[in-house]
Amino acid sequence: MNNTMRATLIWSLGAVIFSLVGVYVALNSNGVWYSVVSAVILLLAGVIFASKAILSLRAAGRSS
């Protein structure tokens, strides 16, 4: 496995983990403001990880 595919896997796993935790926190927040803010931050981190995974995958496609 080359380094770009490994990086893509790591970024995508991070995206899945942050997104799942963010959704879990959002569903169990009960309207408490700090839980809602933390869920939004976690979901934003998931989006950033997903974008990094897409960029890494595109870089892997160009190098081969």
Tens of pLDDT along 24-36? 999 999 989 999 9
User: Among 1-5, 11-15, 41-45, 47-51, whose mean pLDDT is lowest?
Assistant: 1-5
Q: pLDDT category, 64, cuts 50, 70, 90?
A: low
Q: How far is C-alpha 8 from the geometric centre of its chain's CA atoms?
A: 11
Q: Check pLDDT > 80 for residue 48.
A: yes
- The DSSP result for 3-52, as a single string, is HHHHHHHHHHHHHHHHHHHHHHHHHT-TT-HHHHHHHHHHHHHHHHHHHH
Contact 56, 4 (CB under 8 A): yes
**Nearest alpha carbon to residue 59 among 9, 13, 25, 8:** 8
**Three-class DSSP category at 54:** helix
Q: Quote the pTM value.
A: 0.86
How much is the mean pLDDT over the chain? 92
What local confidence, expressed as pLDDT, does residue 62 receive?
A: 77
